[in-house]
A and B are shown apart, each in its own frame.
Chain A
Amino acid sequence: GESVGLHLPTLSVQEGDNSIINCAYSNSASDYFIWYKQESGKGPQFIIDIRSNMDKRQGQRVTVLLNKTVKHLSLQIAATQPGDSAVYFCAEVSISYNTDKLIFGTGTRLQVFP
């Protein structure tokens, strides 16, 4: 069946280090992926997206990598800061289905310690 999952429920990193959050998906038809950040007491916030015709996309301090061969998605955060502490989850969808029904993962909690 279709599923989006995360390898690690919690990731602890030291301030200043790089963080890598992983996500696996199983629907080969998915061609659009989004990373969200959810801070405590807030709703999810869009971070970055990538289409399946790309392998890599960079934003401000964040990079998303897509490996379609193994159906794997990762979010890299450079020079992790305390403000990056949050739950991160990925979402997948097939654009060709003309739907906005995103399939979300369960999330990885990122903890940044000094």
Chain B
Amino acid sequence: ETGVTQTPRHLVMGMTNKKSLKCEQHLGHNAMYWYKQSAKKPLELMFVYSLEERVENNSVPSRFSPECPNSSHLFLHLHTLQPEDSALYLCASSQERGNPQETQYFGPGTRLLVL
């Protein structure tokens, strides 16, 4: 256990559905991240939050909407997704952002399938 949990672990949704992914970290960290992991592709950073403030948005389509209500919780709201959005979505946290030597702790991910 890394101290980062994600729910649900698996999700199947249609292109017209609205769903949310949840991440919770029990490490007292101040930074949280959303990554997308597609087959045979490198991990792609999507969003970075520091102390509940979004500090980075890597040209992610608006059909992905993050929310960070507090430093322990991070959500990724999904709507009108496309089949190519099917991937493993990973959440991570670190003590502080901006310092790459701060180890990022990853959750187990949510396996998303868009039909």
Listed in ascending order, the chain A residues whose CB lies under 8 Å from chain B are 4, 32, 41-46, 49, 89, 91, 93, 95, 98-107
Contacts and interface: CB of A to CB of B under 8 A. Distances in A.
A43 B102 contact: no
Size category of the B interface is 20 to 34
Interface string B20-40: 000000000001010000001
A100 B90 contact: no
Nearest to B88: A43
Nearest to B4: A43
Q: Dominant SS at the B interface? A: loop
A99 to B, nearest CB: 7
A44 B109 CA distance: 9
B94 A106 contact: no
Contacts of B41: 106
B92 A95 contact: no
Interface in B1-22: 2, 4
Nearest to A30: B100
Contacts of B48: 100
Given A42-B108, A43-B90, A106 B40 contact: yes
Contacts of B105: 46
Contact of B108 (A43, A89, A91): A43
Given A43-B107, A44-B90, A99 B98 contact: yes
Contact of A102 (B4, B45, B109): B45
B104 interface: yes
A42 B48 CA distance: 21
A114 to B, nearest CB: 27
